[in-house]
Each structure stands twice: as C-alpha cells, then as structure tokens.
Amino acid sequence: IALALGFDLEKGRLDVSVHPFTGGAHPTDVRMTTRFKAQDVMDGIIGAIHETGHALYEQGRNADYDGLPVSNAAGMAIHESQSLLWERMVAKSRPFATFLLPKLRQSFPEAFPEDKTDEDLYRALNVIRERSVIRVEADEVTYPMHIILRFEIEEGLINGLIDVDDVPGIWRSKMKEYLGIEPADDAEGCLQDVHWSAGLAGYFPTYTLGAMSAVQIFDAAKQ
C-alpha cells in the first residue's frame, strides 16, 4: 500500500516498532515504521499510511535545493498535514475503500469474504470507536481531547505550575475529566508517546493544526 501511494524503497524503508514514526537523515534515506495487532489488521495499515504521508513529504523535497533552508519542511504542523491528508482525507474515503478491499481480500480472505463490500470497509474505517486511553487509537471525535490534555500538561510544566513527579496523577485526572476513562498504568498514560522522551515539548498541537491544514489542502486540491 505504501508503494502504491508513492513511497520509494530506493530512498527508504519500512519496519515495525512499538510506536509508528518516520525519520531518516536525508530525502534519499527516509525510514518509517508501523505497528501491527493480530486482532486489528487496519491498525497497522492506517499507521503505515499516516507514516507514508510523512515519508512522501520528505522524499518529495526538491534535490536542486538540497542543504538550503527552502528544502526544509515548512514546520511540523505542515508535516502532520501531509500524514493526516493521506490518513484521513484519502485512506478513509469511499474511493480508497474500493481500491483497498481487493488487496485486503487477497491477503486476508477469511477476514474479508466476498459478501463484504467496499461500502462495509468504508463504514468500518470511519466508525465512532469506544473511548480509548491511547491517543493513536482514538477516533476523530475524541482525538482533540488527547491533544488538549497533553498541551495543558506541557504548558503547566513549562510555566513551572506542574512538577514532573505530579504528571502521572494529573494525566489520570484529566483523562477522567475529559473522556471519562483512566489508564491502567503509566504505560497507558503519560509514557505512551515517544515525544517527551525525545525532547519534543510542544509538538502535540501540530496534530490538530495539521488536521485543519489537511482539510484545507485537500479541499483546494479538489477544485
């Protein structure tokens, strides 16, 4: 699927990790990962499509301007707009369901029998899920609350209003307040993302900003 979307294996690779991400040193060396669940084939596919959006943005940088500021990404909000454009605008559309179903049926014939239609797949991709403590498993209705929770904690940490030791408890409290659920442990709570351990404070709002940009870019592309 990543190859069908345009990912170039001569300039990158796809591997498996606990948390999907995209990195690399250069547009000719773009490395992305996804994760897979035995009980949910679409989790890995949607993760791969999201990361493919990041990878295509990197691989598409103009080689004529290599090493110059103009060749850099236009901020992480725009980077996220590219991943979310492919994930939400394209991969969750009816035409993509028509494209995807034969591929799924070929690889997973028991999970996608002949009586299942592309409309069934489209509806499954766009279902409103049960509220999840995991950000990357949230649907589009509850996802912004995951971002708001993280932003408020980051803001408190940066402003000195929250101590690091208090983050797990504040996380659980806010998750209960905003979504009515609580993580079983810190792995499902404040340690579930790679961002803070990588020093990426302030990154989370780029997902929501990117989602808003993706909608506008896709709307302009259709005109």
CB 26 within 8 A of CB 74: no
Residue 1: the pLDDT is: 93
Residue 37: the pLDDT is: 86
User: What are 135-155's pLDDT values in tens digits?
Assistant: 988 988 999 999 999 999 999
d(CA 11, CA 153): 38
For residue 194, pLDDT over 90 is answered with no
User: What are 39-70's pLDDT values in tens digits?
Assistant: 888 888 999 999 999 999 999 998 899 989 99
d(CA 1, CA 86): 12
* 177 classed as catalytic: no
Question: What is the chain's mean pLDDT, rounded?
Answer: 93
- Catalytic-labelled residue, pool 51, 80, 87, 154: 51
Residue 18: the pLDDT is: 82
**In Å, how far are 93, 112, 113, 146, 194 from 88, measured between CA atoms?**
8, 22, 25, 17, 22
Place of tokens 């454009």: 85
